[in-house]
A and B are shown apart, each in its own frame.
Chain A
Amino acid sequence: MDKRSEMHRRERRRYVIGYGGSLLLTFAVFGIAYRYGIETKGVYLAISLLGLAQLIVQLVYFLHIDRRRSSREDLDLILFSTMVLLIIILGTVWIMGNLAVRMHTFPM
């Protein structure tokens, strides 16, 4: 009985840590946007890195994905999907951006 409630507490703490971490990152993102404005690329870089950090926090603490052997297949599937996504997104942006430059609709 005791061991069980200890497990319960530990797993609940995991969710609360994930929630706290995500909350912190959310406040950081909107705080930066509020404080520095959202005009410059440097600010946007910071915002996107914080967004990436938040994705990882939620994957680990909410979806319980990590490098343990037993969840390796799930991680493999995420990594494969991410690869497909990156090919699609970067490929699209590259080709369409190139086209826009050649059509002179997009100032270099």
Chain B
Amino acid sequence: MKRAPTHSYPGLNLGRRHASADKASEVVTFGFWVFLMSDLVYFGLMFAIYITMIDAQAGGPGPHELFDLKSIFAQTLILLTSSLTVGLAMLALKYNLPRWRIVFWFFVTLVLGLSFLVLEIRDFMSMAAKGGIPQRSGFLSAFYGLVPLHGLHVTAGCIWLIVLGIQLRIFGLTDLLMSRVVRLALFWHFLDLIWIGIITIVYFGGLTYG
């Protein structure tokens, strides 16, 4: 009998093999999705402020002096790859691969997330060295309100990866932990979506209109 896989919450579903964890994930994952969507609205507000502040440079350094597209390109590739690896961790969980495979993909995702943060902080430091600090202009305040907010989310995701990786090693694949992996993967993919908004609006938009 061939049936399409059931799909009862966003992201990759655990499926019938993990029926009880799948059932346990249904409501909480939808709730988590509601949280992500309200987080999206928050990011949207920051984007709106940034767009209205693009011209408010008050004679300070603007996008052309401050933005380093090479570094942004590297960050984009890193974050994109980490979205794939977190997906591979989900697949390892769903198809009962050995537990070290899940922890391995978690580890790769963590390393990529941390490298992303290192590059981002290096960018902020070189911006600050050129006089691009938050209190310099409305444009820079809006920039530092938005981009580090995303960085903060990535940091939270990294802490979550570490904690969940340790929990998986100690407690094994309980229903609760499996359902947490589902939400972590969702969170991580969501951050990638926000980052696409950031490169398109903050960086390219800033360079075009700033």
List the interface of chain A (C-beta within 8 A of B).
4-5, 7-8, 11-12, 15-16, 18-19, 22-23, 26, 29-30, 33-34, 38-41, 43-44, 47-48, 51, 54-55, 58-59, 62-65, 68, 70-71, 73-74, 77-78, 80-81, 84-85, 88-89, 92-93, 96-97, 100, 105-106
The SS class assigned to the B binding surface is: helix
Alpha-carbon gap, A18 to B12, bound state (A): 13
Please name all residues of chain A whose beta carbon is closer than 8 Å to the beta carbon of B199 when the two chains form the complex: 29, 51
Tell whether, in the assembled complex, residue A64 and residue B10 are in contact, meaning their CB atoms are under 8 Å apart.
Answer: yes
Flag B63-101 by CB within 8 Å of A: 1 or 0 each.
Answer: 000000100010011001101100110010011000000
CB nearest to A43 among chain B residues: B208
Alpha-carbon gap, A77 to B44, bound state (A): 15
CB nearest to A32 among chain B residues: B204
The segment from B108-116, B162-170, B189-197 found at the interface with A is: B189-197
Please name all residues of chain A whose beta carbon is closer than 8 Å to the beta carbon of B196 when the two chains form the complex: 51, 54-55, 58
CB nearest to B51 among chain A residues: A93
Tell whether, in the assembled complex, residue A26 and residue B204 are in contact, meaning their CB atoms are under 8 Å apart.
Answer: no
User: Could you tell me the distance in whole angstroms from the C-beta of B60 to the nearest C-beta in chain A?
Assistant: 16
B45 within 8 A of A: yes
Please name all residues of chain B whose beta carbon is closer than 8 Å to the beta carbon of A64 when the two chains form the complex: 7, 10-13
A-B contact pairs, 22 of them (CB 8 A): A8-B94, A11-B94, A29-B200, A30-B69, A30-B73, A34-B69, A38-B207, A39-B208, A41-B208, A44-B204, A48-B204, A51-B199, A55-B193, A68-B4, A77-B34, A77-B37, A81-B37, A81-B38, A85-B40, A85-B41, A88-B44, A100-B55
Please name all residues of chain B whose beta carbon is closer than 8 Å to the beta carbon of A11 when the two chains form the complex: 12, 91, 94
Residue among A4, A81, A92 making CB contact with B51, cutoff 8 Å: A92
User: Could you tell me the distance in whole angstroms from the C-beta of B208 to the nearest C-beta in chain A?
Assistant: 4
Most chain B CB within a 10 A radius of its CB, from A4, A41, A51, A62:
A62
Alpha-carbon gap, A38 to B201, bound state (A): 12
Tell whether, in the assembled complex, residue A59 and residue B193 are in contact, meaning their CB atoms are under 8 Å apart.
Answer: yes
B48 within 8 A of A: yes
